[in-house]
Amino acid sequence: IIAIDAGHGGEDPGARGRYGSLEKNITLAIARKVKTLIDETPNMRGVLIRDGDYFIPLIGRVDKARKVNADLFISIHADAFIKPKARGSSVFALSEHGATSTAARWLAKKENEADLIGGVNLAVKDPFLARTLLDLSQTATINDSMKRAKHVLNELGDINDLHRGQVEQAGFAVLKSPDIPSILIETAFISNPSEERR
């Protein structure tokens, strides 16, 4: 099950192109096409996190992916920069730094709850053990995310220039799930007129 997150939506239009395109519309159109391709692949099913023009908070996007037992979370965006010459596709995974603060918040939220995160029961009595188990789960998830991100980046390189030649890592909120491998794709620069037209 692949959760496909069309970035932005509703009152959050995202970036604007020079020809008036809105990121929220582009990401939804791409997400729908990706879902069709996934659904045509045996043993795979795509689930749209946002299937219309409405706003979903960032944490709500991850929660929706978890509710459908997603095996992978893909967030789709259209990059923008102040200079119109910026171009190319990028793929991001969570950085270890972003993971550390997230693990702490997860532990605080899940304290005293018998909840499984990545197969790890956080209701263990020893808080240090719970933190260690969550860190191990998060590290494994980041490693899985990096593998998927590299594959997607290679595929994107066949259809568009790459903004950078490697997977980038950042602390995007939608990538911070400790139990679902997650990647964020900047499909192209909406601020670049030729990429906006594409």
Q: What pLDDT shows up at residue 104?
A: 43
DSSP category for residue 14: -
Whether residue 130 has pLDDT greater than 70: no
146 near 181, Cβ under 8 Å?
Answer: no
Query: Mean pLDDT score of the chain, rounded to an integer?
Result: 86
Q: What is the pLDDT of residues 4-21, one digit of tens each?
A: 999 999 999 999 999 999
Model's pTM, two decimal places? 0.82
How many whole angstroms separate alpha carbon 185 and alpha carbon 59? 18
Nearest to 30 by CA among 123, 120, 156: 156
Residues 6+ positions from 171 with CB-CB distance below 8 Å: 94, 95, 97, 98, 101
Whether residue 119 has pLDDT greater than 60: no
